[in-house]
Structure 1
Amino acid sequence: MSFLKLLIRQRGITALIMVCVCLFSVAHAAQAPAIAAAANIKFALDKIADNFEEQTGLSVRISYGSSGNFVSQIKHGAPFEMLLSADEFYIEQLHKAGYTQDAGVVYAIGRLALAAPKQSELVLDENLAGLKQLITDGKLMRFAIANPEHAPYGERAREVLTAKGLWDAIQPKLIFGENASQAAQFTISGSTQGGIVPLSLVLAPQFSKMAHYVVIPDELYQPLNQRMALMPDASETTSRFYQYLQSQQAQAILSEFGFNLPNTLEAHD
């Protein structure tokens, strides 16, 4: 056999192997169950999912968005096997309608932060005095929060602004993110002078490089009890991931990203 024919044959075999590898990867991805998760938990959950795959060899496909939108999608047949909501309300809504196995469990308690790009003139303080001054001086042009109509973190941001007597004055200046993650992007991009966003997102390195923040006191808004639940047809992989999220390892990562931890979870090693 000539060298040229041998080379062609070898290349053909290599190409066949690459095709098989690609097909296996696609098949593997297709088998990974779909999970819906609130956008505010992205950085923590990505890390948890990586650890889960490393320890078990099992993987999950996570879609991030607003809890309210996911509820609508699940009711319309979206094939999610599990929902990690940013609030209890949405899981309760699904459970009452028969879309979950049970009432689920609170996996984390969310917290809010007042944040601003490093070049912003907004002075940050936990009592929002700097924000009030900027509004009073007529210098606030744009301020970001998640849409309070379907994003729990936006709803709580509205509670904070209302508690501080700023809601009416700030409404014309508000830029709504479709979810908490988009609101955080608006906040750090420089397109706004600041925003009220999840603490879990501002603690991520991608955020801290571009913005400053202060933690908003928990007593200014109703608790963000983030609840998760399995759908009736959840696979074994999803069920194991659900349990893993309640483990000490996963809870430590959630704490690292600024979440308060519920005292109702049992420790799973």
Structure 2
Amino acid sequence: MIRVMIALCLFVITGVNGAVAEDITIAAASDLNFVFRELVTEYEKSTGDRVRLSLGSSGNFYAQIQNGAPFDIYFSADIAYPRKLEEAGLTVPGSLYPYAIGRIVLWAGKDSRLDLSKGLDVLLEPTIKKIAIANPKHAPYGRAAVAAMEHAQVYDRVKDKLVLGENISQAAQFIESGAADVGIIALSLALAPPMQAAGHYWEIPADAYPPIEQGAVILKSAKNQERAKAFLSFVQGAEGQAMMKRYGFTIPGGAKP
């Protein structure tokens, strides 16, 4: 079941209310997989609007948007991408919103005998053959994983064991499926109930990698700018913020959950 739920992040998730003309189309980083399922459901219930949610790599979405992909809102795991879109004149002025700071963890399946309390040094265990991370070329969580391993002075010794997921959810799928022995994934995924049932984690100290500053922006090409603004306001509101904190995100300017 968990494998199916993670794999779904690669596809479009469509709500059930409202007409097609009223859809809000959202491109969101895959670390938002579980929290945005809940958030979108609550938003649709409270407004009657329908949300079409695509989950994937922040870098890939950035490239798609530059090439005219028809999204209304872009939630990136790296605020640098929406800032670049803003600089290029592709966003609604003043809509850039730093919505969260992400965190990373070591994660292994429930049957793993690895002692994750050893921290990143556990990656040096000879029994480990494959280590899953998101592709650092276009996934912010992959870059954070590399930085953390370099900080722990283990990267050069384990880099040949790395298997790269297209995004952070695919990296988690590699571990859950047994294609990797252990990996570095988003805390927001590790805290999801199905992930907690499928494995265990150790949180990597925040000072071991640069802050994962995440940002959202409304695109100038949005067909539903008013509804896009309403959804962004929902994320910024008390209910949306509470959901984000429950999944381990730090809210900029706020306390760590």
In structure 2, the partner of 1:14 is none
Distance in 1 (alpha carbons) for counterparts of 2:215 and 2:155? 28
- Alpha-carbon distance in structure 2 between the residues aligned to 1:198 and 1:28: 34
Q: Distance in 2 between matches of 1:162 and 1:140?
A: 18
2:12 is matched with none
After superposition, residues 100-179 of structure 1 pair within 5 angstroms as 100-102=91-93, 104-125=96-117, 127-132=119-124, 134=125, 138-179=126-167
Instruction: Give the superposition deviation at 1:129.
Output: 2.6
Q: 1:169 and 1:153, CA in 2 relative to 1: closer, same or farther beyond 3 A?
A: same
Kept in 2: contact 1:143–1:173 (CA 8 A): yes
Q: Which moved more, 1:242-251 or 1:229-238?
A: 229-238
C-alpha distance in structure 2 between counterparts of 1:102 and 1:213, whole Å: 40
- Asked if 2 retains the 8 angstrom alpha-carbon contact of 1:121 and 1:193, the reply is no
SS in 2 for 1:102: coil
Gaps of 5+ in 2: 1-15
Alignment size in residue pairs: 236
- 92-101 or 139-148, which deviates more: 92-101
Q: Cα–Cα, structure 1 residues 27 and 246, in superposed 2: closer, same or farther, change >3 Å?
A: closer
RMSD of aligned Cα (Å): 1.7
- Does the Cα contact within 8 Å between 1:115 and 1:214 map onto a contact in 2? yes
| Structure with the largest fraction of strand | 2
CA distance in 2, matches of 1:87, 1:27: 31
| Structure 1 gaps, min length 5 | 1-24, 265-269
Quote how far apart the aligned CAs of 1:121 are: 3.3
Q: Which residue of 2 aligns with 1:88?
A: 79
Q: 1:130 deviation in Å?
A: 2.1
Question: 1:126: how far off?
Answer: 6.3
In structure 1, C-alpha distance between the alignment counterparts of 2:102 and 2:208, rounded to whole Å: 13
- Structure 2 CA distance for aligned equivalents of residues 97 and 191 of structure 1: 40
Once the two structures are overlaid, the 10-residue window that deviates more, 150-159 or 165-174, is: 165-174
Query: TM-score normalized by structure 2?
Result: 0.87
Picking from 171, 182, 198, the partner of 1:183 is 171
Kindly state the Cα deviation for residue 50 of structure 1 after the two structures are TM-superposed: 0.9
